[in-house]
Amino acid sequence: MHNFKNIIAWQKVRMLVKEIYLMTKKFPKEELYELTSQVRRAVVSVPSNIAEGSGRGSSKEFSRFLDIAIGSSFEMETQMILSFDLNYITEEELASVTEKTSEVQKLIYGFQKTLKTNE
């Protein structure tokens, strides 16, 4: 078992969740139950799946939850690109999110490799 709070990817994406929530706060009200809700659910799914997987009994199960976390990060990134296309966020905001998301994805992939070598 791993303490999810010590996993760097979890720590970094936790900060990204806050950033996304602050950005989406500015979205049009008509998007509240559409894009705003979708992107928030996707970004929250990333640290949630890291945490849930850390409590699983095997590295193989944990790795499966990390796969889900990575998938959610790509989903969120796509939604933020769409938000930029719709002029809800700036190019700078998109660049910030994209950079941080890429960093989290690399950290998760790297962590997965250590799980597989320790099986």
**Locus of tokens 């250590």:** 114
Alpha-carbon distance values, 26 to 31, 32, 61, 85 (Å): 10, 10, 38, 15
Q: Is residue 117 very low, low, confident or very high in pLDDT (cuts 50, 70, 90)?
A: confident
pLDDT of 57: 80
Please state, rounded to an integer, the average pLDDT across all residues of the chain: 95
The pLDDT tens digits of the residues spanning 49-101 come to 999 999 988 899 999 999 999 999 999 999 999 999 999 999 999 999 999 99
Q: Is residue 41 very low, low, confident or very high in pLDDT (cuts 50, 70, 90)?
A: very high
One DSSP character per residue, 86-117 reads: TTSS-HHHHHHHHHHHHHHHHHHHHHHHHHHH
Domain positions in the chain: 4-117
Q: Higher-confidence residue: 71 or 119?
A: 71
Overall pTM surpassing 0.75 (yes/no): yes
CATH code matching the domain that covers 4-117, chosen among 1.10.287.130, 1.20.120.1770, 3.40.50.720, 1.20.1440.60: 1.20.1440.60
Of 16, 12, 9, 26, nearest to 115 by C-alpha is 9
> In percent, how much of the chain has pLDDT > 70?
97
Residues 85 and 91: beta-carbon distance below 8 Å: no
